[in-house]
Amino acid sequence: MFSIGLTGGIGSGKTQVADWLAQWGAAVIDTDRIAHELTTSAGAAIEPLRQAFGPAAITADGRLDRGWMRDRAFADPDVRQRLEAILHPLIDQAVRAQADRAQGPYRVYVVPLLVESGRWRDRVDRICVVDCDPATQVRRVQGRSGLTPETIERIMSAQASREDRLAVADDIIVNDGATDLDALRRRSWSCHQSWCELASRSSHGSAIHD
């Protein structure tokens, strides 16, 4: 099935775009949502995380303590690597299972760290970046999460730069501070229509890359 890799920095708006694409019929596979499911109470990652990081990493109701882990993972690359070594194989397993069941004109893999992983270019036909300026990212994330600007900037510093994301993009959906929701929806719809056409062409053996 024709596939899109959808990415963007924290606060870029990629989740909103993915939700629209799902409403319009695309098969959306969201690695962030999979990670949340794996780290909820009784999730498959909970016991390995407990063994790796101790009981302090798990809340009283059995979930991953995200604040506790975030503070350590973004301050210490070794902790982040240990965390990823547990989560990434489980996420990949769930992604493949969802991909096998996917129905629709095309698949969308929502991958926040698509550029950083270096593993997705050969797994998708096109990469779409939801792009916005860093100041807008900080403002949005602070408004929805209450995190401090310093914490948000630490998270952003662990992600690919805006320039690195744009360098690999086949498609770009701009969602900067001047973009309202209607404009974002129109831009997303335009990409959806283009991808439906490319998916149709690819199913008949046509080239799928520009």
Alpha carbon of residue 18 to chain centroid:
9
| pLDDT band per the 50, 70, 90 thresholds, residue 204 | low
Pick the CATH number of 1-26+107-203 from 2.40.30.10, 3.40.50.300, 3.40.50.1370, 3.10.450.30: 3.40.50.300
Query: What pTM was estimated for this model as a whole?
Result: 0.89
Indicate the domain borders of the chain: 1-26+107-203, 38-103
pLDDT for the residue numbered 71: 87
pLDDT digits (tens, 9 = 90+) for 36-83: 999 999 899 999 999 999 999 999 999 999 999 988 988 888 999 999
pLDDT for the residue numbered 142: 87
pLDDT digits (tens, 9 = 90+) for 144-164: 888 888 888 888 888 889 999
pLDDT for the residue numbered 205: 55
Per-residue exposure over 148-171, b if at least 16 CB sit within 10 Å of its own CB, e if not: eeebbbbbbeebbebeebeeebeb
pLDDT digits (tens, 9 = 90+) for 171-200: 999 999 888 999 999 999 999 999 999 999
pLDDT at 98 over 80: yes
pLDDT for the residue numbered 117: 84
Spatial contact of 143 and 39, defined as CB atoms under 8 Å apart: no
